Chain A
Amino acid sequence: MSPTGVLGAAAFAPARGQGMPRAFHPAWSPLWIAFVGYQWWVEIGQQLAGALPAEAAPVRPQVAAAIGAAGHIAGNAVEALFYVGWWRARGVRLGFARLFEWLVSISLLDLLASGLTRVAEAHPGWMASALEVFVGLGALRTGETGSGFRAAFGTVGLLCVARLVATAAIQARGAERALAAPLRLTIAVWLLARLANWWLYDLARGMSPLP
Chain B
Amino acid sequence: MSSERRMSLAERAGWGLVAVALVALGTLWHFDRTRVWESPRWDDAGLVELRAAEPAVAGPERAASAASHDAGAPGPIETWAVAVNPRCELCRASLARGLDVRRVARSPVRLAALVVDTKRRPSSATVATLTADELRWDSTGAWRHRWGHRLYGELLCFDREGRFVRTIAPLTDSLAARRALRTAASLSREGGS
Contact string, B147-186, partner A, CB cutoff 8 A, digits 1/0? Answer: 1111100100000000000011110111110010000000
Q: What is the CA–CA distance of A47 and B174 in the complex, to the nearest angstrom?
A: 11
Given pairs A53-B89, A199-B25, A209-B168, 12 additional interface contacts (CB within 8 A): A51-B93, A53-B92, A56-B93, A145-B167, A192-B18, A206-B144, A207-B147, A208-B149, A208-B154, A208-B169, A209-B151, A210-B151
Question: How far in angstroms is the closest Cβ of chain B from A40?
Answer: 19
A-B contact pairs, 22 of them (CB 8 A): A51-B90, A56-B89, A60-B89, A88-B7, A89-B7, A141-B175, A144-B179, A146-B169, A192-B18, A195-B26, A199-B26, A204-B151, A205-B151, A206-B151, A207-B167, A208-B150, A208-B167, A209-B169, A210-B151, A210-B169, A211-B169, A211-B172
Residues of chain B at interface, number, CB under 8 A:
36
B151 A199 Cβ-Cβ under 8 A: no
Q: Which residue of A lies closest to B179 (CB)?
A: A144
B8 at interface (Cβ–Cβ under 8 A)?
yes
Docked Cα-Cα span, A196 to B27, in Å, equals 12
A206–B169 CB distance below 8 A:
no
Interface residues of B (CB under 8 A from A): 4, 7-8, 11, 18, 22, 25-26, 28-29, 32-33, 37, 83, 89-90, 92-93, 96, 144, 147-151, 154, 167-170, 172-176, 179
A121 interfacial by beta-carbon distance below 8 Å = yes
Q: Which of A174-211 contact B (CB under 8 A)?
A: 192, 195-196, 199-200, 202-211
When A and B form their complex, which 5 residue pairs have the shortest distance between CB atoms, in order from nearest?
A: A208-B151, A206-B150, A199-B29, A53-B93, A207-B148
Q: How many A-B pairs fall under 8 Å by CB?
A: 84
Tell yes or no: A50 within 8 A of B by CB. yes
List the B side residues contacting A211 at CB < 8 Å: 169-170, 172-173, 176
- Given contacts A52-B90, A207-B37, whether A141 and B151 have CB atoms under 8 Å apart is no
Report which A residues bind B (CB closer than 8 A): 47, 50-53, 56, 60, 85, 88-89, 91, 121, 141, 144-146, 192, 195-196, 199-200, 202-211
Across the interface, A204 reaches (CB within 8 A) one of B11, B25, B150, B173, namely B150
The answer on a CB contact under 8 Å between A89 and B93 is no
- Given A53-B89, A88-B7, check contact A195 B170 (CB 8 Å): no
A76 CA to B173 CA, complexed, in Å: 29
- Assembled-state Cα–Cα distance A91/B7 (Å): 10
Asked whether B25 lies within 8 Å of A141 as measured between CB atoms, the reply is: no
Bound-complex Cα distance A116 to B14 (A) = 37
Q: Point out the residues of chain B lying under 8 angstroms from A60, CB to CB.
A: 89
Residues of B within 8 A of A209 (CB): 151, 154, 167-169
A37–B170 alpha-carbon span in the complex (Å): 28
User: B104 CB to closest chain A CB, in angstroms?
Assistant: 18
CB distance from A203 to the nearest CB of B (A): 6
Q: What distance in Å separates the Cβ of B121 from its nearest Cβ neighbour in chain A?
A: 24
- Asked, given contacts A51-B93, A53-B92, A145-B169, whether A206 binds B32 with beta carbons under 8 Å apart, the answer is yes
Which residues from B are CB-within-8-Å of A121?
175
The listed residue (A50, A53, A88, A207) touching B174 by CB distance below 8 A is A50
The residue that A203 contacts in the complex, of B29, B37, B168, B174, with Cβ under 8 A, is B29
Closest to A88 in B: B7
